[in-house]
Amino acid sequence: MNLLARAHFVMGAAEPAQFPPDRGSEVAFAGRSNAGKSSALNALTENGSLARTSKTPGRTQLINLFGLDPERRLVDLPGYGYAQVPEAVKIHWQRLLEKYLETRQSLKGLVLVMDIRHPLTDHDRVMLGWCQDSQLPAHVLLTKADKLNRGPATAALAQVRRALDNEFPGTSAQLFSSTARQGIDEARTVLDGWLGIES
């Protein structure tokens, strides 16, 4: 059985003190608001209601943790870069995000979700730079790949991979579409490797 399909909601943390015990292995999902992060999580876990999707960017306001087994978790980080969120809320999210990323010893990798039509924003580059500095593996999902024809999608992937090779060596990238079920197996292979899941 696909262990990712066992994902279940454990808790939402609004403050660092609420984080669960720092043991085992975690993979975090990050990305700009409305890039398709929740939809990607739902597709990878075969659970359409695991992570709440919304037409309103900035809906994820907590760090949401999903358990796979007692020692493995997926983590849904607050979306970033959405202007219509109050400044005080943005600052709180940023501090919460920084505290999580800087302190979690169980964090084994970061999946960075980008809309294929708007990849590598300034916020994305900040996240990737942090991963480089922390020697944390990162994998990019270029979501909504079904919105482009095959040729332009392939060209966009090649362009992003070139940029990653130049700026953030070692970071991998792939096409992904939760709607078209594209790239799910490829992404699961990355997650399985980070989480130590036997295939």
pLDDT per residue, tens digit, the chain (199 aa), is: 589 999 999 999 988 899 999 999 999 999 998 899 999 999 999 998 888 765 555 555 789 999 999 999 999 998 887 656 677 877 887 888 889 999 999 999 999 999 999 999 999 999 999 999 999 999 999 999 999 999 999 999 999 999 999 999 999 999 999 999 999 999 999 999 999 998 6
Residues 6+ apart with CB under 8 A from 159: none
Q: Per residue in 99-125, pLDDT tens? A: 999 999 999 999 999 999 999 999 999
- Domain at 3-195, CATH from 3.40.50.300, 3.30.360.10, 3.20.20.100, 3.40.50.10790: 3.40.50.300
Spatial distance between the Cα atoms of 37 and 39, rounded to a whole number of angstroms:
5
Intra-chain end-to-end CA distance of the chain, in Å: 9
d(CA 142, CA 40): 10
Tokens of 127: 């996240």
Phi, psi of 29 (to 5 degrees): -115, 125
The 10s digit of each residue's pLDDT in 155-185 is: 999 999 999 999 999 999 999 999 999 999 9
Nearest CA-CA partner of 95 in 17, 167, 157? 17
Query: Can you read off the two tokens belonging to residue 193?
Result: 């490797």
pTM (predicted TM-score): 0.93
| Single-letter residue type at 119 | P
CA 155 to chain centre: 22
How far is the C-alpha of 4 from the C-alpha of 24, rounded, in Å?
15
What CA–CA distance (Å, rounded) separates 102 from 90? Answer: 18
Smallest CA-to-CA distance from 82 within 55, 63, 109 is with 55
